[in-house]
Amino acid sequence: MSLLEVENLWVRFPTRQGIFDAVRGVSFNLERERLGIVGESGSGKSMTGRAILRLIRKPGIVEADSIKLEGQNLLDLSEPEMREVRGQKISMVMQDPKFSLNPVMTIGDQIMEAYLLHNNTSKAQARVKAIEMLEAVSIRDPERVMRAYPHEMSGGMGQRIMIAMMLIPDPQILIADEPTSALDVSVQRQVLDIMDGLVKKRGMGLIFISHDLNLVSEFCDRVLIMYAGRIVEVCDADKLHEAKHPYTQGLLNSLPRLDQPKKYLEVLQRDEAWTKEDSVRGTR
């Protein structure tokens, strides 16, 4: 039995122009591994992540044959039971980190509140832990940051704070949506090391959504490549550069390179036929 099994997932939105299918029949599983999801903007990566947690806002609709967490179908759970899952078992770092923090509460109060919710301990102890967590994600002056409000944080600091908070419940699965897109390479590395440690030492499953093909190729075990709501290709992360699908190759070719300066970058030439191909199963 897999940690997570997603079978035939659809996410639909009614719009002025009719129903829009943001995710179209996607199936994959997640073991205690680092699973990358890449694909162009709007291909359905975030909606796939959110749908697992049933966090699609109305009037959006989630449909699936099943979404099983260790055999338990999440679609059968009531909303209060689902809240338990979100709080304890599956954490998600959202793409817009500052947006998911409470703007009128200090960073320190938010981390401590989250910590106290999951640990039966004193406020003083929670404070010590909160500072430790900020240090773990390489925040320079944790004491000041504890007293600060979200708008006083830089882009990368916001991302790191969200990651620290999501790890508090010691989740079985972490869904990280562009968790390091605002980080410089050295801080990025530290954050990846933390996630890596959780996968290897505690057997966490990680879904890592990212635009950064090189990063995913280097950091993940497996990669799902999404296009127009479907999986067009699945490959071992370290073989991403040998990917066969013209879409994946197109993505790789559009990267700027320091060793090959040119005036214009290559732009992906989309093929109408890709939209019609069946979704590839991302299971193993």
Partner 1 sequence: MTALTIKNLNVWFGAHHDRVDAVRGANFEVQVGESFGLVGESGSGKSTILKAITGLAPTWSGDISVEGTPLSGAKRDRAFYKTVQMVFQDPYASLHPRHTVDQVLSETLQLHGFKDIDTRVVKLLDDVGLGGKFRFRYPHQISGGQRQRVAVARALAGEPDILLLDEPTSALDVSVQAEILNLLTDLRDEHKLTYLMVSHDLPVIGHMCDRLAVMKDGEIVEVMDSEDLRQGTAKHDYSRSLLAASAAA
Ligand X SMILES: Nc1ncnc2c1ncn2[C@@H]1O[C@H](COP(=O)(O)OP(=O)(O)OP(=O)(O)O)[C@@H](O)[C@H]1O
User: Which residues here bind partner 1, judged by CB under 8 A?
Assistant: 13, 15-17, 38-43, 46, 57, 95-96, 98-99, 140, 144, 147-148, 152, 154-158, 160, 178, 181-187, 189, 211, 213-215, 218, 250-252, 254-259, 261, 263-268
Is there binding between residue 184 and Mg ion (CB under 5 A)?
A: no
Q: Report the nearest approach of Mg ion to the CB of residue 160 (Å).
A: 13
Q: What does the alpha-carbon distance between residue 81 and residue 100 come to, in Å, rounded to a whole number?
A: 22
43 or 248, CB closer to ligand X?
A: 43
Helix 107-118 to helix 155-166 angle, to the nearest 10 degrees? 10
> Residue 120 binds what, of ligand X, Mg ion, partner 1, none (CB under 5 to 8 Å, by partner type)?
none
What is the binding site for ligand X (CB under 6 A)? 13, 15, 20, 22, 39, 41-47, 60, 95, 151-157, 182
What amino acid is encoded at 25 in this protein? G
14 binds Mg ion (CB under 5 A): no
Residue among 27, 29, 43, 46 that touches Mg ion (CB under 5 A): 46
Contact 93/162 with Cβ under 8 angstroms? yes
Examine residue 155 and tell whether it contacts Mg ion (CB under 5 A).
Answer: yes
Q: Which amino acid is at 65?
A: D
Q: Judged by CB, which is closer to Mg ion: 120, or 186?
A: 186
State how far the alpha carbon of 84 is from the alpha carbons of 63, 78, 109, 117, 203, in Å.
Answer: 21, 10, 22, 12, 20
Beta bridge partners, 69, equal 4, 72
Q: Of 43, 3, 38, 74, nearest to 222 (Cα)?
A: 38
* 42 is a contact residue toward Mg ion (CB under 5 A): no
If you ran DSSP here, which 8-state letter would residue 71 be given?
Answer: T
Where does this chain bind Mg ion (CB under 5 A)?
46, 95, 154-155
